[in-house]
Amino acid sequence: MEHAVHLLNGFMYFHENLVQEMLASAVQSLSRRVTRIGDSFVTAAQAWSLFLDDVLVVPVSGEHDNPSDSGYSFARIARQHLGFAESQIVSPSDALVAIATAPRPILFVDDLVGTGNQFVGTWYREFAIPGGATHSFSSLAATRGTQFFYCPVLCTETGFNEIRLQCPSVHVNPAHLLSHRYSALASDSLLWPDHLLSGAVDFIRTVSNRVGIPDTDGGSPDDWQGYEKLGLVIAIRDTVPDATIPLIRWNSNGWQPLMVKA
């Protein structure tokens, strides 16, 4: 019971309004990269305004297009709440067509970076463009003067390091960076008091097994440890990410979910 209470106490829910403000904060902080130290206020304001007018906002789609990917809904947030024009919200293939003609800044948006694999898939994927050719962001980054920015609302250390390793041309700028200690499975997890820490993983494993949550060694979104063993205990807007342990949203064998996965 004590483990259960602390697990619920460690659960973090990010409401729609909060998510919008966090995304706005991440985007606004890009001004530190767009302007230069020593610029006058007028010069800096002009550079920032030019960036906002010129940038293309692109959803993260991974290796395959999926309209349910969270990046698409965050692109809509960028239009509705951050003031970007409809013409600036574009698909990955349309963005590639644009920057193949002339360099302009690209801003990727999403809710959560877990392992970083989805973004890496977007970065290296060959997208079809009109005329039968294909392009990838990675190939154009090597030959063009385009700047690439990625503003997820939340990003794990694991995902941050993976993207920096695999996509060095991308400036990753999350609203919040989650250290490994936000995992319920970490040996030094922030979720548990000291006297419960040693038994925390066994607690999650035992209860998960009792309600039928599978053990796939992290290879499935339904794995008891969360996808890729990230062990998070979070929900964003109306969904529970795959990186969150299934105990939060499991809905079988009589288990009452805290949140239902959308």
Whether 91 and 123 share a structural domain: yes
Q: What is the pTM of this model?
A: 0.90
Closest residue by Cα to residue 114 from 262, 257, 245: 245
Q: How confident is the model at residue 70 (pLDDT cuts 50, 70, 90)?
A: low
Q: How confident is the model at residue 77 (pLDDT cuts 50, 70, 90)?
A: confident
Taking the C-alpha atoms of residue 40 and residue 195, their distance in angstroms, rounded to an integer, is: 54
Return the exposure string of 97-124: e unless at least 16 CB atoms fall within 10 Å of the residue's CB, then b: bbbbeeebbbbbbbbbbbbbbbbbebbe
Whether 113 and 141 share a structural domain: yes
Give the per-residue pLDDT at 66: 52
Q: Decide if 204 is inside a domain.
A: yes
CATH code at position 125: 3.40.50.2020
Answer with the one of 139, 158, 178 that is the final residue of a domain: 178
Number of structural domains the chain divides into: 2
Whether 138 and 207 share a structural domain: no
Tens of pLDDT, residues 27-48: 999 998 888 888 888 888 999 8
pLDDT of 251 > 70? The answer is yes
Measure the N-to-C terminal CA separation of the chain; round to a whole number of Å. Answer: 28
Do residues 192 and 231 lie in contact, with contact meaning Cβ atoms separated by under 8 Å?
A: no
Whether 94 and 202 share a structural domain: no
pLDDT of 227 > 80? The answer is yes
pLDDT of 147 > 60? The answer is yes
Q: Decide if 46 is inside a domain.
A: yes
Which of 5-9, 84-88, 234-238, 256-260 reaches the highest mean pLDDT? 5-9
Answer with the one of 153, 178, 203 that is the final residue of a domain: 178
